[in-house]
Amino acid sequence: MNVQHSIHIPSFLKVYDNALDDLGSILQNQGISRVVLYFGNDLIEMFGSKVMNSLKDAQVDVLEYKEIDTIALNDITQMAFSISPKAQAVIGIGGGKVIDAAKYMGFLKKLPFISIPTSTSSDGFASSSASLKIEERRVSVPARLAYGIVVDTQIIKTAPVKFIYSGIGDMISKITSIYDWQYEEKCGFTKVDDFAMMIAKKAVNSFVRTPYQDIHENLFLKELVDSLAMSGIANEIAGSSAPVSGSEHLISHALNKLLDHPQLHGVQVGIATYIMSKVQDHRYVRVETVLNDTGFFDYVATLDMKKQDFLDAIDLAPTLKNRHTYLHEQKYRDMAKDFVRNDARLQTILH
């Protein structure tokens, strides 16, 4: 008999304007009074005094704080073991790198990790794995979901808009990743976890049905953050990234390998989702509508991304993961490449 699932989920998720001002009281409510703080590059200047004042007001002691700009496993391991034994939590404030680094330090030290993303560029702030560098290679290592997540929507909306587009691309990708997972099961290569799939589906459906006029609106950003956090839970339930990362993510991973200067994760993933939804013949109208109406396509058109890179990435993609997505079959790779060569929209936004 299989044992019933048991998973860890974050104890708090605060998403609102100026949430960072309340960090101290949020921690105090959790009984946390001694922390170490890690900021992304240049972020102490931007948010340092806001954070320190909030913690001071709530009598939360900062045992150590610094900026970090590394995701090398060796550096992170060393830093983790120099954390004071008095620390009750590890806090990461910033973009992808510092979130991954602090998440992994918390995991190594068995300390709660508080995730404070300053942009919505991917679902990494709410995922249970960390993307680190081991001998110059980017590797996804198991860690643990954040103990708590604080997202200041005021900060998110003033960050460069490319980060919002990247989040949109990463979120919409659940449409194709779920379908790949189901296909993989149909072909006899895996077993889908019903509950993880349901959560991932609800996350993306809730996001794509959110009414908005402008992507900077609070409701839109909150939906985006909540949905990204929900897909992190799907990932945790499944015990793998399968529900949230399919053929479209493999194309992005391949681009990262092929290019000296890849684009943001969710930007690459979003274009790949558009391609794969057509190949899968699955919900592509919805994908196209979201990417068009949000301005995602217009943004991508400014980036000088190359058709040839996508063609090469499609061929490389299936070699990167031992799975069975649509791209693991020749005929679907051929369809994807035909689409890149001939789709009218892609001709206008890729070069």
Q: Which residues are at the interface with Zn ion (CB under 5 A)?
A: 122, 170
Instruction: In angstroms, give the least distance from the CB of 245 to Zn ion.
Output: 6
Instruction: In angstroms, give the least distance from the CB of 249 to Zn ion.
Output: 6
Whats the size of the chain, residue-wise? 351
Instruction: In angstroms, give the least distance from the CB of 314 to Zn ion.
Output: 18
* Residue indicated by tokens 């998440």: 103
Using CB positions, name the residue nearest to Zn ion: 170
Instruction: In angstroms, give the least distance from the CB of 170 to Zn ion.
Output: 4
Q: Which is nearer to Zn ion, 54 or 231 (CB)?
A: 231
CB within 8 A of 217, min separation 6: which ones?
A: none
Q: How far is CA 230 from CA 11, 35, 106, 233, in A?
A: 13, 26, 21, 5
* Residue indicated by tokens 């890149």: 340
Per-residue tokens: 298: 């217009």
**Distance (Å, rounded) from C-alpha 205 to C-alpha 59?**
41
Of all residues in the chain, what percent are helix, strand and coil, respectively (each to 5)?
60, 15, 30
Q: Are strands 34-39 and 89-94 parallel, antiparallel or unpaired?
A: parallel
Judged on CB neighbours under 10 Å (0-12, 13-18, 19+), 100 is buried
Instruction: In angstroms, give the least distance from the CB of 140 to Zn ion.
Output: 10
Q: How far is CA 214 from CA 7, 151, 161, 240, in A?
A: 36, 19, 12, 34
Instruction: In angstroms, give the least distance from the CB of 238 to Zn ion.
Output: 14
Closest to 46 in 3D by CA, of 147, 124, 154? 154
Strand ranges for the chain from DSSP E: 12-16, 34-39, 61-67, 89-94, 113-117, 129-134, 137-142, 148-152
Instruction: In angstroms, give the least distance from the CB of 272 to Zn ion.
Output: 10
Q: Which is nearer to Zn ion, 170 or 223 (CB)?
A: 170
Q: Which is nearer to Zn ion, 122 or 128 (CB)?
A: 122
Instruction: In angstroms, give the least distance from the CB of 127 to Zn ion.
Output: 8
Q: Are strands 137-142 and 148-152 parallel, antiparallel or unpaired?
A: unpaired
Q: Which is nearer to Zn ion, 51 or 132 (CB)?
A: 132
**Distance (Å, rounded) from C-alpha 53 to C-alpha 273?**
42
